């Protein structure tokens, strides 16, 4: 099927991360999928933002959970990136899914971070409610560093694909071949999402033998992309979807010529 290009927070080198312009740009560039992040607002609405706070990507300050959606919509999530994107609002999960579910993208990867208030069930339930509303459960992957989040997803709806993200803080431990598969079995997830430093040929071989896909994050340089293609990974999560697609196409064309 070929290696899939998964746009990390959209085409975030060309538009502000995790905003509708970034996602639309990635669609126009022919990405195969998306990786994005979801938190709940104070009034329980799923919104798209990487961090727990809005400090780094808006003109506001504070945690997402301390604001209602109406309050968050008053902040500017574009000017930090460029004046061309002034007054770009924070998108809701529904707004994101409305765009991506109508596209030809095959993968909609939603990362859920463990909520600080420990209300994992509410985050999972509201996220899956939106996913089902837009009819894209078959394309969605819920990923997380938190085993508890991934276990909860399967409890809420076992049909939803889940992916274990790693490493967290100990990459040397994560290089151990058996580590990701121990976690996959323990929490019942379907896919692994290793950091590029934590993947090797043996991991990919074992994963594929077990029917587990391997999507690697977050890779932008040609040397690493080619290395991962040699390993046979299924997807590359990248900040540069267009450029990554061009590298993959070049790689595949070269392999085709060599096989003649």
How large is the C-alpha radius of gyration of the chain? 18
Indicate which residues carry an active-site annotation.
8, 50
Question: Which 3-state string (H, E, C) describes 42-98?
Answer: CCCCEEECCCCECCCCCCCCCEHHHCCHHHHCCCCCCCCCCHHHCCCCCCEHHHHHH
Q: DSSP code of 100?
A: H
User: 161-199 burial string, b = 16+ CB within 10 Å, else e?
Assistant: bbbbbbbeeeeeebeeeebbbebbeebbbbbbbbbbebb
Closest among 102, 113, 101 to 63, alpha carbons compared? 113
Measured CA to CA, the distance from residue 129 to residue 143 in angstroms comes to 16
Cβ within 8 Å of residue 113, ≥6 positions away:
37, 39, 52, 144, 145, 146, 149
């Amino acid at each position: 099927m070929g290696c899939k290009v998964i746009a990390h927070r959209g085409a975030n080198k060309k538009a502000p991360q995790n905003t509708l312009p970034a996602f639309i740009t990635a669609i126009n560039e022919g990405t195969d999928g998306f990786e994005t992040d979801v938190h709940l607002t104070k009034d329980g609405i799923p919104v798209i933002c990487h961090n727990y706070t809005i400090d780094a990507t808006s003109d506001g300050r504070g945690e997402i959970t301390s604001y209602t959606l109406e309050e968050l919509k008053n902040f500017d999530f574009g000017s930090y990136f460029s004046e061309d994107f002034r007054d770009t609002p924070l998108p809701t999960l529904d707004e994101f899914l409305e765009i991506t579910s109508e596209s030809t993208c095959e993968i909609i990867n939603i990362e859920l971070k463990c909520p600080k208030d420990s209300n994992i069930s509410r985050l999972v339930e509201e996220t899956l409610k939106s996913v089902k509303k837009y009819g894209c459960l078959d394309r969605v992957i819920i990923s997380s560093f938190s085993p508890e989040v991934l276990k909860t997803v399967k409890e809420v709806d076992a049909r939803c694909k889940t992916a274990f993200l790693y490493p967290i803080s100990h990459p040397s431990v994560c290089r151990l071949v058996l580590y990701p598969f121990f976690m996959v079995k323990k929490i019942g997830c379907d896919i692994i999402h290793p950091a590029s430093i934590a993947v090797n040929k043996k991991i990919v071989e074992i994963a594929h033998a077990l029917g587990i896909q391997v999507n690697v994050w977050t890779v932008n340089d040609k040397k690493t992309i080619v290395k991962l293609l040699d390993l046979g990974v299924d997807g590359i999560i990248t900040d540069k979807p267009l450029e990554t697609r061009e590298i993959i196409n070049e790689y595949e064309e070269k392999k085709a010529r060599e096989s003649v």
